[in-house]
Amino acid sequence: MSHPLIRFLGRTGEGRRGLILAVLIGTVGVLAGAALLGLSGWFIVATALAGSLASFNVFTPSAGIRTFTLLRTLARYGERLTGHDGTLRILAGLRLWFFRRMAALQPAQRGFERSGDLLNRVTADINALDTVYLRSYAPAVQVLVSLLCLALLGWTVGFLPPWLPLLAAALALGLPLLVFRASAAGGRVQADATAALRSALVEGVQGARELAVFGGEAAAAARVAAQSARLVGGSRDTARAAALGAGVVLLGTRLLAVLVLVHGLAAGQAGMAGVGSGLLALAVLATLGLLEPLGTLPQMGQSFARAARAAENLEAVAAQTPLLPEPARPLPLPPRPDIGIHGLTLRHGPDLPTVLDGLDLHLPYGVHAGLYGPSGEGKSSLSQALLRQIPLTAGRITLGGVDLADLSEADLRRGLSYLPQTPTLFDGSVADNLRLAAPDADDAAVWAALDQVELGDLFRARRDGLDSWVGEGGLRLSGGEAKRLGLAQMLLRAAAVTLLDEPTGGLDRDLAERLMPRLHAAFAGRTLVVISHQPEDLAGCGWVGRLQAGRLVVERTEACSGRGADLPS
């Protein structure tokens, strides 16, 4: 089994190339830096010992020094650029991957709709992953190359014990592990405390007025304080590990350099052939230069710990298998999609009550049906089942005789449209939001739909007209206005079957009574299902049923036979 972080590398898309390039260029930079330091040291000692121009070739080493200087500078610049480019590509790749993964799931599996925090958390997790490759793989490669060079150096100078590079390797390996373990523990505390703090804050701030009326402000504040202390404590533990890492890396690399010095001194004292002080200076300084990348290891351990947790979180969400996968061999949507419900039973979990109990229903194409009943008695569950968003506990649903499960996603969505209780408005213009429902609608059609729901004048009065921004950072629409915009979407879509969930919620009674007949007229010849807790909304429906205790009671069935017009295919 591979680590999630390694699996995520496969999902980084085009960013990988930039990443590899950044690592390579960065490694060149590190080596050039070490070479610059080592060569400079050797140069000084050698010139000091040579003592005169005649016996010394000054050009080669000084040319080397100049080359390494330039190389190091350019490499750092190149590393930064390619690294940032790669990181941005990785971020885009990861987001796209996650977006597509989530799109394959059912709403309940995503859980975003219920919790905005969850949504924030997954995006934070994705963001935590974008830099991890640069911050952990790059140092890892650089450290590895440096260690190889150290071994090479030892072999070249001759006086270094062979275990010295191994010692360095042990330090390079142990250090991130040390920090990683402490960081991971601190990170777990942080994640835990963050979740608890979040709910304490929501309760304390959003519930502040309720706390004022019902008491318990002091207890709420104490909860916030305790969780904040835990959160800060967790980050303190993580930082403590990083500080220890920084101290240890300094101590370790310097002691290794001292070991090089000691061995050089011993070899020189023993009169070992070829060991001069020039070589000694080169060895010590180059060792210091080569061990420089180890300085990034504590940080690497820290960012690795955070990224590993993020990767696990994301996988836990993304690894779910779609509850209702698309059929392998889809059947086409029939032109007259009668709705058929046969023995439908719904239960959201094994220990939860039955929501719908053996429901049977036949709605011929073209009927306008109304469904009402007490809140929480299965109206929403029924519409979710019709939309193929939840698995059926028992029974089946057909559209024009074809099982819902056999329709392709594209066909199903084309044939069936749905207005939720609280329609989602996207960050964009009014036109953008409406064209989301009907990409080909022209301006005239968009205005006509807005006028139908009595929103036309609101936007005509605005400077930007159809380009008025709604959603976050835009015009703040009230719940009722958002609902009417959703209705306009339904009108533009004009699907064969349209489901409206509480279409008049948040609307004044007068407006609701003007709107409903218009909707019936607009959808004449097509199927309209209105779900409401207000029986008044269902006055224009030819078929009305009441849902109660999981059963359906049909209350009205006038003109319930195929009034539907054939759909253009």
Partner 1 sequence: MSGRQNEPAPPTAVEKEDRGSERQRSRAAAAWLRRQVRPVRAWHGLAVLCGLGAGIATIVEAAALARAIGRAADGLWVEAGRVLPWLLLAILARALLVWGQERAGTEASARVRHRLRLDLYRSMARLDRREEEGGTATLTVRLIDQVEALDGFLSRYLILSPLAGLVPLLILIVSFSQNWVVGALLLLTGPLIPLFMILIGLGAEQASRRQSVALAQLGRRFLDRLGGLTTLQLFGRVEPEAAALTAVADDFRRRTMAVLRIAFLSSTVLEFFASVSIALVAIYLGSVYLGYFHMGAAADGISLETGLFLLLLAPEYFQPLRAYAAAYHDRAAAVAAAGDLMPLAPAEAAGPGDAVPTDRARIDAAPSLRAEGALAVSLRGVTAGHDGAPLLDGVDLDIPPGGFVAIVGPSGIGKSTLIDLLLGFVPPRSGRIAIGGQAPLAARGRVSWLPQRPALVSGSIRAVIARGDPDAPAAALVQAGEAADVTGFAAALPRGLDTPVGERGFGLSGGQLRRVALARALLKPAGLLLLDEPTSDLDPVAERRVLETLRRRAGAQTIVMVTHSAAAAAHADRVYRLEQGRLSPLAGPEATP
Nearest residue to 261 via CA among 228, 237, 284: 284
Task: Show the tokens assigned to 367.
Answer: 């009927």
Classify residue 566 by burial, with Cβ atoms within 10 Å: 0-12, 13-18, 19+: exposed
Quick one: which segment of 246-254, 333-341, 514-522, 555-563 binds partner 1 (CB under 8 A)?
Answer: 246-254
From residue 158 to residue 197, the character string flagging contacts with partner 1 as x (rule: CB under 8 A) and all else as - is ------------------------------------x--x
Using CB under 8 A as the binding criterion, the count of chain residues that bind partner 1 stands at 160
Q: What is the Cα 296 distance to its own chain's centre?
A: 27
CA angle 214/218/219 to nearest 5° reads 85
Is residue 20 involved in binding partner 1 (CB under 8 A)?
Answer: no
Task: Show the tokens assigned to 170.
Answer: 């042990």
Quick one: which segment of 178-186, 234-242, 307-315, 523-531 binds partner 1 (CB under 8 A)?
Answer: 234-242
Q: Looking at 16, 188, 518, 533, which residue binds partner 1 (CB under 8 A)?
A: 533
Q: What are phi and psi of 92, to 5 degrees?
A: -65, -40
How far apart are alpha carbons 296 and 536 in whole angstroms? Answer: 69
Contact 335, 569 (CB under 8 A): yes
Is residue 101 involved in binding partner 1 (CB under 8 A)?
Answer: no
Of residues 56 and 540, the one with the C-beta less far from partner 1? 56
Quick one: which segment of 1-9, 132-140, 156-164, 249-257 binds partner 1 (CB under 8 A)?
Answer: 249-257
Q: Looking at 37, 143, 333, 515, which residue binds partner 1 (CB under 8 A)?
A: 37
Q: Which of residues 81-100 bind partner 1 (CB under 8 A)?
A: 81, 84-85, 88-89, 91-92, 95-96, 98-100
Is residue 224 involved in binding partner 1 (CB under 8 A)?
Answer: yes
| Total length of the chain | 569
Q: How far is the CB of 308 from partner 1 (least distance, A)?
A: 19
Nearest residue to 9 via CA among 24, 19, 1: 19
Of residues 71 and 394, the one with the C-beta less far from partner 1? 71
Strand segments (E) across 273-421 = 339-347, 354-363, 368-372, 394-399, 402-403, 416-419
Contact 93, 15 (CB under 8 A): yes
Is residue 243 involved in binding partner 1 (CB under 8 A)?
Answer: yes
Is residue 57 involved in binding partner 1 (CB under 8 A)?
Answer: no
Q: Where are the alpha helices (DSSP H) in 202-337?
A: 208-214, 217-269, 277-290, 297-318
Of residues 319 and 559, the one with the C-beta less far from partner 1? 319
Radius of gyration of the chain (CA): 35
Quick one: which segment of 77-85, 131-139, 331-339, 392-400 binds partner 1 (CB under 8 A)?
Answer: 77-85
Task: Show the tokens assigned to 55.
Answer: 């016996």
Q: Looking at 242, 363, 453, 500, which residue binds partner 1 (CB under 8 A)?
A: 242
Q: Looking at 424, 443, 557, 561, which residue binds partner 1 (CB under 8 A)?
A: 424
Of residues 87 and 452, the one with the C-beta less far from partner 1? 87
Q: Which of residues 266-295 bind partner 1 (CB under 8 A)?
A: 268-269, 276-278, 280-281, 284-285
Q: How far is the CB of 2 from partner 1 (least distance, A)?
A: 26
Q: Looking at 20, 178, 265, 458, which residue binds partner 1 (CB under 8 A)?
A: 265
Cα distances (angstroms) measured from residue 260 to each of 162, 193, 286, 341: 11, 47, 10, 82
Is residue 556 involved in binding partner 1 (CB under 8 A)?
Answer: no
Q: Looking at 60, 162, 321, 351, which residue binds partner 1 (CB under 8 A)?
A: 351
Q: How far is the CB of 486 from partner 1 (least distance, A)?
A: 9
Q: How far is the CB of 26 from partner 1 (least distance, A)?
A: 12
Q: Looking at 1, 2, 209, 440, which residue binds partner 1 (CB under 8 A)?
A: 209
Task: Show the tokens assigned to 500.
Answer: 């409206």
Q: Which of residues 480-499 bind partner 1 (CB under 8 A)?
A: 480, 489, 493
How far apart are alpha carbons 41 and 68 in whole angstroms? Answer: 14
Is residue 508 involved in binding partner 1 (CB under 8 A)?
Answer: yes
Is residue 123 involved in binding partner 1 (CB under 8 A)?
Answer: yes
Q: Looking at 16, 117, 331, 560, which residue binds partner 1 (CB under 8 A)?
A: 117
Is residue 439 involved in binding partner 1 (CB under 8 A)?
Answer: yes
Q: How far is the CB of 514 from partner 1 (least distance, A)?
A: 15
Other C-beta atoms closer than 10 Å to the C-beta of 248 total 18
Q: What are phi and psi of 561, to 5 degrees?
A: -110, 150
Task: Show the tokens assigned to 3.
Answer: 């680590």
Contact 303, 131 (CB under 8 A): yes
Other C-beta atoms closer than 10 Å to the C-beta of 178 total 17
How far apart are alpha carbons 435 and 67 in whole angstroms? Answer: 59
Of residues 212 and 521, the one with the C-beta less far from partner 1? 212
Q: Looking at 216, 327, 330, 395, which residue binds partner 1 (CB under 8 A)?
A: 216
Is residue 553 involved in binding partner 1 (CB under 8 A)?
Answer: no
Of residues 257 and 359, the one with the C-beta less far from partner 1? 257
Of residues 130 and 338, the one with the C-beta less far from partner 1? 130
Quick one: which segment of 171-179, 398-406, 471-479, 513-521 binds partner 1 (CB under 8 A)?
Answer: 471-479
How far apart are alpha carbons 246 and 299 in whole angstroms? Answer: 9
Q: What is the DSSP string of 222-258?
A: HHHHHHHHHHHHHHHHHHHHHHHHHHHHHHHHHHHHH
3-class SS at 492? helix
Of residues 251 and 319, the one with the C-beta less far from partner 1? 251
Is residue 113 involved in binding partner 1 (CB under 8 A)?
Answer: yes
Angle subtended by helix axes 138-157 and 163-201, to nearest 10: 160
Is residue 454 involved in binding partner 1 (CB under 8 A)?
Answer: no
From residue 379 to residue 398, the character string flagging contacts with partner 1 as x (rule: CB under 8 A) and all else as - is -x------x-x---------
Is residue 513 involved in binding partner 1 (CB under 8 A)?
Answer: no
3-class SS at 321? coil
Q: List residues bridging with 394 in a β-sheet.
A: 345
Q: What are phi and psi of 361, to 5 degrees?
A: -160, 140
